[in-house]
Structure 1
Amino acid sequence: MTDAPKLTARQQQILDLVREAIERTGAPPTRAEIAATLGYRSANAAEEHLQALARKGVIELVGGTSRGIRLPQPTLARINDAREAKARTRPAPAARTLPAAPPAVLASLSLPLVGRVAAGHPILAEQHIEEHYAVSPALFSGTPDYLLRVRGLSMRDAGILDGDLLAVRRLPTARNGQIVVARLGEEVTVKRWEQQGRRLRLLPANPDFEPITVDESSGFALEGIAVGLIRKDFNA
């Protein structure tokens, strides 16, 4: 049996990020997502580590796509088996079709869907809630407090599209690389969190959009972190 290749601490961290992303979403992270999570300013730094991992045979790189990272087939097969086993333990698929919540829903979460948010009102104010949905907790990496209807394509390369329903957990703080919902004055936006000391930036996942630097005049408030995503037009 061939010994496992020796990895540096950073290489192991990146390999773990790739595995966790595939386990959680079924797709690998982009170079930009890896760089943001690790606090790199450029995706090139992440690319150098990925090339080193590929040379050691623990990942495979595929050109021409932003998510062109593959795990060796035996590793991928184990992940897929685990995902399928988890899927078999979930409630019936009807929970994913987002029916309007009945008065009492057993083994489900009843989550408010937040649409457009008016200035000066809490995000969960009654006038912001379009309806309630019954969803399975198994769909999410953490327990969400509400769903937010995504508007725009600033997070396109993170797989978050216009019209998607983002599951959000209300928390007072976030970690670098996490996708957050933030209020900036009269606007609510979905971006990736990047903080270095007192400097806070909200990063898009689309080169057509500019990062947002948060300052005292921004009217900033953190409304929570993303713990999952529901796309209503899937075939299930």
Structure 2
Amino acid sequence: MARPLTQRQQNVYDFIVKTMQELGYPPTRAEISRAMGYRSPNAAEEHLRALERKGAIRMISGTSRGIRLPAQEAEAETEEAPARQLPIIGEVAAGSPILAAEHIDRYCPLPPEYFTPRADYLLRVRGLSMKEIGILEGDLLAVHRTDRVRNGQIVVARLEDEVTVKRFQRKGHQVTLVAENADFAPIEVDLRHDPLEIEGIGVGVIRGGNGQALS
């Protein structure tokens, strides 16, 4: 870091590092505020901006978890690309490719061939819309990149700027993306005028991102 941090800035920085090490993705402003005892996320935002000015972090606009650590990025750039490991995709910025470099939080030491068909990346699951088939918050979904999908398969779908995991059903021009949770309504897509892009199909789950794979 080019400039020294104040004690409060150091506390925020340490919390960011700890969260990324334990969960694999950075905290939100609200999570930082709760951890630091701030009354408003605005206080966390001010510290984040100060950390960015001092070169301790890099901010990515348009996402609630858009915090990167330049020290880790520089270290990753000096290492040989992990060809036998799977990239873990954290927060996906609106409108950008799912495998963009800024979306890769880290790599998992599992070969792509561990899954059938082979996995191309691991996507960290948000929410509980697929909980009834055992895909839970914080799990890693192994994804095989393809746009060829059959009815009943679990897909990673992009709807305009949103990426979601759902069960795929198609009849003619009508696609239904079905949640495996009774609390969530299905998403109806008319292919004649609604944008839909299939990013891949789910081929396995790593429970809680801790390396326990479920094929």
TM-score by length of 1: 0.52
Deviations 1:56-88 (A, max 9, x none): xxxxxxxxxxxxxxxxxxxxxxxxxxxxxxxxx
Deviations 1:92-148 (A, max 9, x none): xxxxxxxx9x8477xx83111111111121111111111122204454221011110
Contact 1:177 1:194 (C-alpha < 8 Å) held by counterparts: yes
Among candidates 200, 206, 215, match of residue 230 of structure 1? 206
Q: Which runs of 5+ in 2 are unaligned?
A: 1-75
The residue number in structure 2 matching 1:124 is 99
Q: How many aligned residue pairs are there?
A: 134
Contact 1:115 1:148 (C-alpha < 8 Å) held by counterparts: yes
Query: What does 1:107-186 correspond to in 2, within 5 Å?
Result: 109-137=84-112, 139-186=114-161
Look up the SS of the partner of 1:118 in the other structure.
Answer: coil
Query: What does 1:34-113 correspond to in 2, within 5 Å?
Result: 103=80, 109-113=84-88
Look up the SS of the partner of 1:167 in the other structure.
Answer: strand
Contact 2:86 2:120 (C-alpha < 8 Å) held by counterparts: yes
Matched, 1:196 2:171: yes
Q: Which runs of 5+ in 1 are unaligned?
A: 1-99
Among candidates 209, 220, 223, match of residue 196 of structure 2? 220
Q: CA RMSD in A?
A: 2.4
TM-score by length of 2: 0.56
Q: Which letter maps to 2:151?
A: N
Please report how far the alpha carbon of residue 173 of structure 1 lies from its aligned counterpart in structure 2 after TM superposition. 1.7
Contact 1:139 1:228 (C-alpha < 8 Å) held by counterparts: no
Q: Cα 1:235–1:160, aligned 2, differ >3 Å: closer, same or farther? A: closer
Instruction: Tell me, in whole angstroms, the C-alpha distance in 2 between the residues paired with 1:121 and 1:234.
Output: 27
Instruction: Tell me, in whole angstroms, the C-alpha distance in 2 between the residues paired with 1:124 and 1:201.
Output: 25
